[in-house]
Amino acid sequence: GEDVEQSLFLSVREGDSSVINCTYTDSSSTYLYWYKQEPGAGLQLLTYIFSNMDMKQDQRLTVLLNKKDKHLSLRIADTQTGDSAIYFCAESEWGGGNKLTFGTGTQLKVEL
Amino acid sequence: EAQVTQNPRYLITVTGKKLTVTCSQNMNHEYMSWYRQDPGLGLRQIYYSMNVEVTDKGDVPEGYKVSRKEKRNFPLILESPSPNQTSLYFCASSPPSGRYGYTFGSGTRLTVV
């Protein structure tokens, strides 16, 4: 079945860039997503990338997709303390129930 | 405000006592889904629904039931809860287009003792 992997923790200093990485196995993934989960809250969709794209930029967020290596990354520029959260990578072969397969999540800690 | 509403937010119950977690969305979304979140495992899909009266199993359906009698509601039923169903549960909804992803509710933390 599908598998999505992420590293568990990342610590950065405020103002630096953060890069969260994700690898997936399903070659038929149509959409790949990044979700953010703050303590005690649900998941908030940050951004997505369609599988035929290499890069997508949205303000401080840059998503890079290497489809050959099945590698997805999320770069957060000028990381702030408010960015501290768990970040989930998810992939979907859209259609047929639109099931999202999630990674285990990366806990981002931003230090002053 | 567009949202997915789950109730209750917190629930402690005893083994075997039937319970229902409600989920409602006000966005007229066709797709709805239930996930459970466990440490180290990420989120796993329990059941999903593509429209009224259309439901199907996800990855971890054992011990759960769902129904979709109306478009906006998608309750999760635990007929006989067991301690291994202690988890954080999320309901989510989406339109058919994948570009919007799923909108998630705030979660229900269930403890079964």
Residue B12: the pLDDT is 97
| B72 close to B25: Cβ distance less than 8 angstroms | yes
Query: What integer pLDDT is reported at residue B3 of this predicted model?
Result: 93
For A88, the closest of B42, B48, B106 (CB atoms) is B42
Q: Which residue has the tokens 């369609």?
A: A50
Is the CB of A98 inside 8 Å of chain B's CB atoms? yes
Pair type for strands B31-38 and B87-94 = antiparallel
pLDDT tens per residue, range B50-64: 999 999 999 999 999
Query: Which 11-50 residues of chain B touch chain A by CB within 8 A?
Result: 31, 33, 35, 40-45, 48, 50
Q: State residue B85 phi and psi, 5-degree precision.
A: -95, 5
Q: What percent of chain A lies above the pLDDT cut of 90?
A: 71
Q: What is the C-alpha separation between B69 and A1, in angstroms, rounded? A: 30
Mean pLDDT of chain A: 90
Whether the Cβ atoms of residue A47 and residue A60 lie closer than 8 Å to each other = no
